[in-house]
Chain A
Amino acid sequence: AQSVTQLGSHVSVSEGALVLLRCNYSSSVPPYLFWYVQYPNQGLQLLLKYTTGATLVKGINGFEAEFKKSETSFHLTKPSAHMSDAAEYFCAVSDYDGSGDKLTFGTGTRLAVRP
């Protein structure tokens, strides 16, 4: 069974500082990995995904993540935080079986951005 661990339920950074949100996964098969963002009272929006190919994945809003198989990690980074990045971020691993993917989510990391 897949599982996801997000270290740090709350992260606070200054505007313009590096954003690093950590995600480690457990999967018995080559994983598909995702980062979603959730703004208050909204659904989840896909930031980026890793399926196959290049291990450094670029997403929307300047975010990127690197798949490291040896470390079973998929950490999310952004070089310079913006106030609008304040939200909750979820890492997820997919159990894709040909009939659609079943996502297992981490518990989320709430990002605060200080002026």
Chain B
Amino acid sequence: EAGVAQSPRYKIIEKRQSVAFWCNPISGHATLYWYQQILGQGPKLLIQFQNNGVVDDSQLPKDRFSAERLKGVDSTLKIQPAKLEDSAVYLCASSVVYPPEQFFGPGTRLTVL
């Protein structure tokens, strides 16, 4: 079974530039999550989708971050414009509705200079 795929794996940009990350979840997983993991911290949920609808985006900085899930499968997370404090690893995870177990992708490491 193929795992969660993410690209790119690494990205370096300058502040105020825009960037986009892509995630392809495990086939058949209805729920998709984006997490932000700042160095030295645990992952923090940014947004949760079920199929192509948003379940929870309460911790997404909506002035600069946006996310969509196309046709209930792939998802993109965008940052525009980026700030220095956005430097982090962005993790995508997917799961079936039940039982509760999230499968994580390898992450995208973003460095904002």
Known: A105-B44, A107-B41, A108-B42. A99 touches B97 (CB 8 A): yes
**B residues lining the A interface (CB < 8 Å):** 4, 30-31, 33, 40-45, 48, 50, 55-56, 91, 93, 95, 97, 99-107, 109
What number of A residues sit within 8 Å (CB to CB) of B? Answer: 27
A90 and B95 contacting across the interface, CB-CB below 8 Å: no
**A residues lining the B interface (CB < 8 Å):** 4, 9, 32, 36, 41-46, 49, 51, 90, 92, 94, 96, 98-108
6 pairs across A/B with beta carbons < 8 Å? A32-B100, A41-B106, A43-B93, A46-B101, A103-B43, A108-B41
Partner of B31, one of A43, A90, A100: A100
User: For A42, A99, A105, which residue has the most chain B Cβ atoms within 10 angstroms?
Assistant: A99
B55 and A100 contacting across the interface, CB-CB below 8 Å: yes
B99 and A44 contacting across the interface, CB-CB below 8 Å: no
